[in-house]
Copies of this chain bind each other. A is one copy, B any other.
Amino acid sequence: MGPTIRDVARLAGVSKSTVSRVLNGDPNVAEETRNAVIAAIKEIRYTPNALARGLNTRKTGTIGLIISDITNPFHAEVARGVEDLASDFDSNVILCNTDGRPKKEAAYIDLLVEKRVDGIIFTSVKTDESDMTNLRSRRIPFVFAGRTLPDVEADSVVVDNILGGFQATNHLLRLGHQRIAYLAGPSHVSASMDRYEGYCQALRRAGIEPDPQLVIEGDFKQEGGYRAMSALLDRSLGITAVFAANDYMAMGALEAIYERGLRVPEDIAVVGFDDIPFARLHLVQLTTVAQPKYDIGAIAARMLFERIDGKAQDEPSRRVVLPPRLVIRRTCGEYLGQRDFAEPNRPSRAAEPPVGTT
């Protein structure tokens, strides 16, 4: 059944407590005893049982990551940030793909609670408030990464979507565009609405009143971007530029544009949002607003561990807002021409402390 602490104790001629002490690095153990124990551990190839330990300590060294789909490059990058940081804190992460389905999400939350995870990071949030209060009452800390639930008071780290929308639109305006379309995401997603808000702000600042005709709703997917762009083009609205709420839709838009024999950026300029890996491909060169995806995950994890370790035990919840960054490539003109390969924008060490805390 695998050796237990008892077997080690017996072999080393000490008590279980002593073994436990050396296991946990308790300084109050004679050097000699310690060595004997260590030798015994090695001899019988003992590996501590984290279940038994967790039962006592109420810490499992495991956190849950609730995500809509790990196959989505944006989420994968966030997940990587989370996992790296968890690893730094000697924790593991349990991956939960929900596909944005509330039921799956609720089921996963239950499972994670059963497993007594130390905390949970939400990337996708469809859950109603009741699950959250459940976590609250069990004192399981959680933080939102990338998205927030407006009604729920909790730690979160997000990119400044309004600013990002502003940057994208403003870039287009500076290039002389006036008729700029917005390919929105689903209207209930705050990120899309915030980017739209930034879009409007930039427009108004330039003395242009946002035209509802130029806004069309997509689904954050390539297909949706394609359809939305096609619809827009069919209506001959005199559009010369388009700001897509994310890169996938921008890709679909590009396709719709090319399909009609139009050129990018000469006939229509395109900006996306996210900077997913393929945006930088030589053949694509999508101008886009980059989100610090990895950092979002890493910082969220760091905040979570601060709660877990009790440092930030009962402090009010924090909201970290990260700055977006406009990446100018080819699809709006102003192509800078340098080759840029997928630079893993991961810090070799853990992420820096939160920036822009409010």
Contacts and interface: CB of A to CB of B under 8 A. Distances in A.
Given A47-B110, A116-B49, A282-B254, A76 B70 contact: yes
Interface stretch (A78-86, A197-205, A238-246, A309-317): A78-86
A261 interface: no
Nearest to A255: B282
A341 B222 contact: yes
A95 interface: yes
A97 interface: yes
A349 interface: no
Nearest to A344: B71
Given A51-B116, A55-B55, A94 B94 contact: yes
Contacts of A70: 70, 76, 79-80, 83
Contacts of A115: 50-51, 61-62, 92
Contacts of A254: 282-283
A51 B48 contact: no
A113 interface: yes
A76 B83 contact: no
A114 B339 contact: no
A251 B252 CA distance: 20
Interface residues of A, number: 62
A339 B342 CA distance: 26
Interface string A249-277: 00110110010000000000000000001
Nearest to A286: B283
B80 A113 contact: no
Contact of A80 (B73, B97, B255, B344): B97
A92 B111 contact: yes
A51 B47 contact: no
A93 interface: yes
A223 interface: yes
Contacts of A62: 94, 115
A258 B254 CA distance: 20
The 10 closest A-B pairs by CB, nearest first: A278-B278, A50-B114, A255-B282, A95-B95, A283-B283, A50-B115, A92-B94, A51-B54, A51-B55, A51-B51
Given A84-B97, A258-B282, A283-B284, 9 more contacts: A1-B58, A2-B138, A49-B116, A50-B116, A51-B51, A55-B55, A71-B73, A79-B95, A284-B284
11 contacts: A50-B116, A51-B60, A71-B73, A87-B97, A95-B95, A221-B342, A255-B282, A277-B278, A281-B281, A281-B283, A284-B284
